Chain A
Amino acid sequence: MDYQVVLRVNNLSVSYKYTEVIENIDLEIEKGKIYSIIGPNGSGKTTLIRALSRNLKPKTGQVLLDGVNIFKMNSKQTARKMAVLGQNNHTLSDVTVKNLVQYGRYAHKEWWKGSDREDIRIVDWALRKTGLENLQNRKINTLSGGEKQRAWLAMSIAQKPQILLLDEPTTYLDISHQLEIMELISRLNKEEGITIVMVLHDINHAARYSDELIVVKDKKIYKRGDPWVILENNVLREVFGVETEIRLDKETSKPVFYARKVV
């Protein structure tokens, strides 16, 4: 075996009240890769990522992080290995960017200790990685959408996680900020080796930046694989209900598509 599984999902089902939202999902996430979960609205993407991140208790099945059931680990142990960023983060808090990033170190500290040299070094590193050095004393609620998202990402990477789970990291952002965030995520993966699992709405972004796509449809994983395997006329027709035109993007040699019409 020349690859390593960071996150393994066995027979996972989640239900709200009495309706199943995802059913019997099995999944392996390999170390160091980027995965994007795509699928139509209401297919269970967000539920899946929330179950992977301990935010939802599954009805059956397990999520194993480095071989250990995440519901058997304590909160801090999980947080040292896995960081999660949800869809809309708004807060009453008026913390500065730097303070927010310092909170990322929470799981690594005992409650009676302040920041040690290691924490300071990592916070500086996270601010630098996300290009926030010049905004570090600003309050989070004064930042623009893209800056805010970078600040939340900086907080997450200050946890020094092996794996980062993101739920639609680019929603509410305009196109240039979307690209900026996607590039940042890609860099974090290439340069720091952080495994990324994210829900994405934009299929072209998913194809361009991911090693593997996971298509969720009707509570189940419909198909998973290389972007070229997933961006196929029949897959897109069956899952999203659209006729598509698929091309090669010469620069990235990844597929891009546009939707012609609804089937």
Chain B
Amino acid sequence: MENEVSFKDSKKYKIFIIVCIAVLLIIGFILGNAKGSMEVSVQRIFEVLLNDDGSSERLVIWNIRLPRMILAALVGINLALAGAILQGVMNNPLADPSIIGISSGAGLFGIFLLVVLPQYQAFVPIAAFFGAMLAAAIIYVLAWKGGIQPIRVILAGVAVSALFGAGISGTLVFYSDRVHGALTFMNGSLSSRSWPEVQTILPYTVIGLILVMVFSQKLNILILGDDVARSLGLNVEATRLGFTALAALLAASAVSAVGLLGFVGLIVPHSIRLLIGNDYKLMFPASALLGAVLVMFSDTFARTILSPTEIPVGIVMAVLGAPFFLYLLRR
């Protein structure tokens, strides 16, 4: 093998890929606003976005489609970043908030607060965060044996996921009179979500994006292994705790907004790794973009394919995600 930097490893190629994903994001955004029971032309979209002419198009786009697209993008960003982080700190390529139970932890705490103390609805993201952190803590305790063991992470994660999942189902059964749209929560859905949910999640996305970009180098060093990272002068314990908390926060805010949406945190970082490699400095922004693209397209698809019936986006994600993942494994 040659010492020369191959084209696929060059910075130019990586930037090119990121630009391509950004272009997809714009296409997805326009498509999502145009498609639906009322078709709107591209030109019309920009017209009604820029000024409120009181038309029905304006109403549909401004109140329904635009916030939903933005929410889809934010959820995609959060879940993709959470997955990218967890894969690094847990030293396991299969770590994904929905697979290892972080999302279920967040979901249980969130939904419990929602049905038992509905007056405190505003605190759902915070409760969800504690649920996610609890799930992460249990995984660490179970998976720790003189260092974090990748296989034990998954075994512990599956157990944690089952346990919290059971808790969610139990809560939904006991309080079935108070829970509306339990099914959509369990599958993850953007149906009838609007500006309030955007407001819920936006601060976490912004904080998350800033923090991952600032501290990406620490995660690059952590994935060299704990002993190596420690020798290089990284405070391994603090780094792992900080990143885990950040992943929990990102996943919890996504769960609070749209329910349990799986696969995003698994598919996206993996695709990015295959496309541009493991350097978190580039992986984080690329994963964020692709996460947004994936959830946006999937939601538009879920909304329009069986129109006027909507299917939960989580189902689309699973149908797209599982075969795609198998394809990745076969390569």
Near A by CB (< 8 A), chain B positions 1-52 give 1, 3-5, 9
- In the complex, the number of residue pairs spanning A and B with C-beta atoms less than 8 Å apart equals 90
**A86-B228, A138-B3 are contacts. A92–B93 as well, Cβ < 8 Å?**
yes
Q: Is B56 an interface residue (CB 8 A)?
A: no
Q: Is B306 an interface residue (CB 8 A)?
A: no
Chain B residues within 8 Å of A, Cβ to Cβ: 1, 3-5, 9, 91, 93, 214-215, 217-218, 220-221, 223-225, 227-228, 230-236, 277-279
Q: Is the CB of A93 within 8 A of B233?
A: no
Which listed residue (B1, B3, B225, B232) contacts A159, Cβ 8 A? B232
Can you list 11 A-B pairs, Cβ within 8 angstroms, ordered by A? A55-B227, A76-B233, A83-B231, A89-B228, A90-B225, A94-B278, A95-B279, A103-B224, A137-B5, A138-B1, A152-B228
Main secondary structure of the interface of B (DSSP, over half): loop
Residues of B within 8 A of A107 (CB): 232-233
Q: How far is the CB of B168 from chain A (nearest CB, A)?
A: 32
Residues of A participating in the B interface, judged by any CB pair closer than 8 Å: 53-55, 74-80, 82-86, 89-96, 99-100, 103-104, 106-107, 111-112, 134-139, 142, 152, 155-156, 159
Partner of B231, one of A96, A137, A156: A156
- In the complex, are the beta carbons of A137 and B235 less than 8 A apart? no
Given contacts A91-B224, A93-B224, contact A137 B3 (CB under 8 A): yes
Q: Decide if B4 touches A137 in the complex (CB within 8 Å).
A: yes
A86 pairs with B227, CB closer than 8 A: yes
> Beyond the given A89-B224, A137-B3, could you list 6 further A-B residue pairs with CB under 8 A, ordered by the A residue number?
A55-B227, A74-B235, A79-B231, A99-B279, A103-B221, A111-B214
**Complexed CA–CA distance, A88 and B17 (Å):** 34
B223 pairs with A103, CB closer than 8 A = no
Q: What are the residues of chain A within 8 A of B227 when measuring CB–CB?
A: 53, 55, 84, 86, 89
Q: Are A103 and B220 in contact (CB under 8 A)?
A: yes
- Is the contact region of chain A dominated by helix, strand, or loop, or is it mixed? mixed
Given A89-B228, A159-B232, do A94 and B93 touch, yes or no (CB 8 Å)?
no
* Alpha-carbon distance between A137 and B112 when the two chains are bound, in angstroms: 53
**Residue of B whose beta carbon sits closest to that of A140:** B224
Q: Least Cβ distance of B271 to chain A in Å?
A: 15
Closest CB in chain A relative to B179 CB, distance in Å: 40
Using Cβ atoms and an 8 Å threshold, which residues of chain A touch B218?
Answer: 111
Point out the residues of chain A lying under 8 angstroms from B234, CB to CB: 75, 106
When distances are taken between beta carbons in the complex, the residues of chain A under 8 Å from B5 are 137
Contact B278 A93 (CB under 8 A): yes
